[in-house]
Amino acid sequence: MHPLIGIVFGGLLPLAAALGLGRAAWRGRAPHWTLELASGSALLSTLLFALLAAGAAYSAAVLPLCVACALPLLFRRPAVPSLRVPLWMAALVAAYAAYYLVHALAPEIQPDAAGYHLGLVADWARRHGMPSRTGFYEMLPLGLETLFYPAYLAGGPGAARLVHFGYFLATIPLFLWIGRKLNVDSRASLAAAGLYFFTPVAGISGSCAYNDAAEVFFSLAAFGLLLEAREGKWNALFHAGLSAGFAYAVKMTGAVVAAGAAAWAALRHGRRGLALTAAGVLLAAGAWPARNLILVGNPVAPLGNRIFPNDHFHAASEEHLSRTLASYGGLRWREAPGELALGGARLQGLIGPALFLLPLALLALRRPQGLFVLLAGAVLLAPWLRNTGARFLMPALPVLFLAIALWARPRWMQALFAVQAIVCSPWAVEAYADRHAWRLHGLPWKAALRLEPEKTYLRQHLYEYGFVEKAAPRIGPDGLLDLYGLPYAYLETAPLGPLSSARFDNAALALQSALGPRPERIAVLRAEAAGRFVRAVRVRLEADWPGLWSIEEIRLEWRSRRIPVSTLWLLNARPNAGDAWLALDGNPATRWFTWDDARAGAWWELRFAAGRISRRDWRGRQWSAASGGSKPCASSSRSGSAGLRWRRGRTATAPSDAP
């Protein structure tokens, strides 16, 4: 059998299953077939999540489930309203769709897609379920990846990316239906849809195994269903909740869609409306925060670690990542429009000159529906303020272009449509965009039809594939530390990294201590306690320290002999209690870190199972990357049986030349 047959079948299977399940959920009464696809996708993802979480996601269970879900397509006809659009406009959309389809059929070469989007799906396929690993990517909501899973089982990575492409294409008919709900001329609606569909960042993201185009689809579905609910159709609120909740399950930034839908339902429809919408949101998205809460104690992991402190992620690392994504290497706000419209390299994507039209959306306030549309656009724009990458602007673009269509004449919109089609064509983009802009290149039709061997195409277009190909036979199923960002969809393992978790941070620091420059200062602190029963030992920072305070190793001695570590001892620290054991593991390459700028009162503590007589001392070795002076720290011990109290030990601090 030709491999393309399996790829196409695998890509269509979860889409057909979602459409069939949605048709059954709507009982054949959906206003439009794209809304059936939206609701069915949320429900199918929940079923697949249950199988994956139970470790029962075998091909023999998943594929028949998808076939069964698709059966309603045989008995119920879809709701497809007639719509007349100019032939030349439809031809331009079809030409772009064909161009995108060729790229969607080619082997996956985009970084995150060949990394965690498909790498985790491949790992699920090897394990027949979700492992309990607590890495950065593993804790993200992976609703779309659950829909990739049956496609991957049936047709491999190429089939999975077709699923995302299906949602990208479905955005256009959904957009036209929403335009009808807003009484927008069909020509203007299609023109607004084209302004979004032709953007280079939408084209490359929608034709690979990312999740941004799917988030746009489900955000628009929620928006359209809230419009439908204004006509007194209460069931639309539940389905709006399904779409809004699944927007979060697809991508974390979709949380604003879920929150906005619930707030609007409460405002316009009262408690009943809020209850219906919230029920849909919880059904579509509730499994992911619940899983995170069980595994790491933080429902919004890998973010929110300052609000929900836990042992699996460092809040300082999260904040460093947030600052990086908010500025993209120091890019200033006034530079962002030009970079998004005409550059495309520094903000990882290109929107094209149509970006400069967005302020015109404010003129929609002259129309009765304008305020609702602009409010939706503002909600969808909010995540971009925290991450200025071009992909994070995608959910707001269709709604803002639709706001322009609310007031602009159809002929004006058609002119903008034609100009956008020209200036966003692959040939025109080369004339003004940065040569490193993230966009589609060429027309890989031989690779798409598998006339060119997949490995040959990957070697030519995926820089890291050569390394992966050589390293794969030498890498085991676990234990790979990824500091770079490998396309591990083509490996037989899911690595640790490259984004931060506590395990990744500690492993990277251990490597840095061996390969990096020597710390500017290592201080050895020795504290003695008089002969008395000691129940605990604590090292405390007495004054603020402008940097990371760390303890490499604690050693306890009795009569000049080291006391062996006991499994009965209890360790604690503030902050970063989860890493307290690294100061007592006997490994000079690891150490306990505060991770935040050290504040006065930070401490590391050891509690014994029973009181110990201390006549000698304990030693602590501390590291700092700062220079000058010794650390302002103190040691203390806790003694007694009834009235426990801390006693300060006699301490001495001295520099050390130890490596």
DSSP string, 470-520: HHGGG--SS--B-SS---GGGSSS--B-SS--HHHHHHHHHHHHHHSPPPS
Tens of pLDDT along 367-402? 989 999 999 999 999 999 888 899 999 999 999 999
Tens of pLDDT along 493-531? 888 888 889 999 888 888 877 765 565 556 777 777 666
pLDDT-based confidence at 617, cuts 50/70/90? very low
Domain membership of residue 599 (yes or no) is yes
Mean pLDDT of 161-187: 96
Domain count of the chain?
A: 2
Helix (H, G, I), strand (E, B) or coil at 576: coil
Question: Can you give the pLDDT at residue 626?
Answer: 35
In terms of Cα–Cα distance, which of 211, 214, 202, 216 is closest to 350? 202
User: Are 529 and 386 found together in one domain?
Assistant: no
DSSP letter, residue 581? G
CB within 8 Å of 464: residues ≥ 6 apart? 484, 485, 486, 487
Question: Can you give the pLDDT at residue 289?
Answer: 97
Give the Cα separation of 165 and 540 in Å (integer): 56
Mean pLDDT of 616-628: 45
Q: Are 229 and 265 in contact (CB under 8 A)?
A: yes
pLDDT-based confidence at 335, cuts 50/70/90? confident
CB within 8 Å of 547: residues ≥ 6 apart? 597, 598, 624, 625, 626
Tens of pLDDT along 552-566? 888 888 777 888 888
Give the Cα separation of 172 and 198 in Å (integer): 11
38: its two tokens: 């939206």
Give the Cα separation of 477 and 122 in Å (integer): 12
Give the Cα separation of 1 and 489 in Å (integer): 23
* pLDDT of 242 strictly over 60: yes
- Neighbouring C-beta atoms of residue 654, cutoff 10 Å: 10
Side chain identity, residue 235: N
Question: Can you give the pLDDT at residue 231?
Answer: 79
Q: Are 22 and 43 in contact (CB under 8 A)?
A: yes
Question: What's phi and psi for 610, nearest 5 deg?
Answer: -145, 160
In terms of Cα–Cα distance, which of 589, 581, 130 is closest to 311? 581
User: Are 214 and 349 found together in one domain?
Assistant: yes
Domain membership of residue 237 (yes or no) is yes
User: Are 172 and 308 found together in one domain?
Assistant: yes
Helix (H, G, I), strand (E, B) or coil at 69: helix
H-run or E-run covering 524 = strand 521-528
Among 399, 432, 465, the domain-final residue is: 432
pLDDT-based confidence at 79, cuts 50/70/90? low
User: Are 36 and 146 found together in one domain?
Assistant: yes
Question: Can you give the pLDDT at residue 624?
Answer: 43
Distance from the Cα of residue 370 to its chain's centroid: 32
Pairing of strands 550-558, 561-562: antiparallel
User: Are 202 and 61 found together in one domain?
Assistant: yes
User: Are 404 and 535 found together in one domain?
Assistant: no
Domain membership of residue 482 (yes or no) is no
Among 417, 432, 447, the domain-final residue is: 432
User: Are 251 and 109 found together in one domain?
Assistant: yes
Question: Can you give the pLDDT at residue 423?
Answer: 96
Helix, strand and coil content of the chain, in percent to the nearest 5, comes to 55, 10, 30
Domain membership of residue 590 (yes or no) is yes
Give the Cα separation of 222 and 239 in Å (integer): 8
Of 191-200, 241-250, 536-545, 637-646, the least confident: 637-646
Question: Can you give the pLDDT at residue 521?
Answer: 57
Q: Are 586 and 565 in contact (CB under 8 A)?
A: yes
Among 392, 415, 432, the domain-final residue is: 432
Domain membership of residue 293 (yes or no) is yes
Q: Are 45 and 146 in contact (CB under 8 A)?
A: yes
Give the Cα separation of 392 and 415 in Å (integer): 27
- Burial pattern 325-362, b for ≥16 Cβ within 10 A else e, equals eeebeeeeeeebeebbbbbbebbbbbbbebbebbeebe
Of 322-331, 335-344, 646-655, the least confident: 646-655
Domain membership of residue 497 (yes or no) is no
Domain membership of residue 544 (yes or no) is yes
Give the Cα separation of 284 and 243 in Å (integer): 8
Which segment, 158-172, 423-437, 625-639, is predicted with the most confidence on average? Answer: 158-172
Helix (H, G, I), strand (E, B) or coil at 58: coil
Tens of pLDDT along 16-32? 999 999 999 999 889 99
Can you give the three-state secondary structure of 112-177, one letter per residue? HHHHHHHHHHHHHHHHCCCCCCCCCHHHCCCHHHHHHHHHHHHHCHHHHHHHHHHHHHHHHHHHHH
DSSP letter, residue 256? H
Give the Cα separation of 494 and 480 in Å (integer): 7
Question: Can you give the pLDDT at residue 386?
Answer: 87
Question: Can you give the pLDDT at residue 518?
Answer: 62
Question: Can you give the pLDDT at residue 4?
Answer: 92
* pLDDT of 628 strictly over 60: no
Mean pLDDT of 284-297: 96
CB within 8 Å of 641: residues ≥ 6 apart? 533, 611
Domain membership of residue 480 (yes or no) is no
**Mean pLDDT, the chain, as a whole number?**
88
Give the Cα separation of 529 and 550 in Å (integer): 23
Range of the domain at 648: 521-655
Tell me the C-alpha to C-alpha distance, in Å, between residue 602 and each of 141, 534, 549, 621: 34, 21, 9, 16
Q: Is 297 exposed, middle or buried (0-12, 13-18, 19+ CB in 10 A)?
A: middle
Higher-pLDDT residue of 344 and 596 is 344
Tell me the C-alpha to C-alpha distance, in Å, between residue 64 and each of 59, 61, 71, 147, 231: 8, 6, 11, 14, 38
* pLDDT of 625 strictly over 50: no
